[in-house]
Amino acid sequence: MANDFFRFKRFSIYQDRCAMKVSTLACIQGAWLPDCSPKRVLDIGAGTGLLSLMAAQKYNCKIDAVEIEEDAFFQLCENVSKSPWESRVECHNFDIKKFATDRKTRYDFIITNPPFFNRQFKSSDDRINLARHEKGLVLEDLVQICNNLLSEHGIASIILPPLETKKLMSHCRNKCLYISAQLVITDSPQKEPKGIISYISRAKTTPCTKKLFIKMANGEYTSDFVKLLKDYYLYL
């Protein structure tokens, strides 16, 4: 079986070709982290560990990485064990609903990449669908979990397509949670946005919205993209 290695400046991510892949959107989310000093971080649906390890590179704290799908969890554990931050990242093979019910810990930062793709993008592999889609966890549940587990001044980072982001904002209002910042991600200036990262907190503020174009019209990476990812990519 062939292997992929998604290489960063300080660690590599092992990827099984039959399982989940590292996406550019996920890398952007992992690089666009708030400037704070969390005591504890939670990664919901950690997959193979990309966001957990990027958070570990930025923050000097304990990180709980929760992944329900067994094959992804195996890769998560392998990637964490090969990283410089093994002692700070704890891997959990749990349904996040059960994990949230059993935990008394409150998190200063929660990060999650729940790819609520359109139906045509679903995999024929039920294991991947379970980890990637709204089959086992609906968006309203995710917002409730964030509400239950966020500390008083905590922040949650969620990346979704534009349509799902509108639903997210509605669910947040129902839980007295608020969008404090958003990063709108577009492949190039000529295209429509493909994903939006939202910061959620309990503080009611006017959201700060930024735009990020990945590439210019000539196909080269934009300076903003390079600046954001340069601490993680080897070849920028």
What phi, psi does 138 have (nearest 5°)? -85, 160
CATH number of 3-229: 3.40.50.150
Q: pLDDT tens, 53-103?
A: 999 999 999 999 999 999 999 999 999 999 999 999 999 999 999 999 888
State the Cα angle at 34 between 26 and 150, rounded to 5°: 90
Contacts of 118 (CB under 8 A, 6+ apart): none
First vs last C-alpha separation in the chain:
29
Give the range among 7-11, 36-40, 53-57, 231-235 with minimum mean pLDDT. 7-11
Domain boundaries, the chain: 3-229
**pLDDT score of 137:** 72
Percent above pLDDT 70 for the chain: 81
**pLDDT score of 21:** 63
Q: pLDDT tens, 178-202?
A: 999 999 999 999 899 999 999 999 9
Q: pLDDT tens, 138-156?
A: 899 999 999 999 999 999 9
Cα 185 to Cα 20: distance, rounded to the nearest angstrom:
21
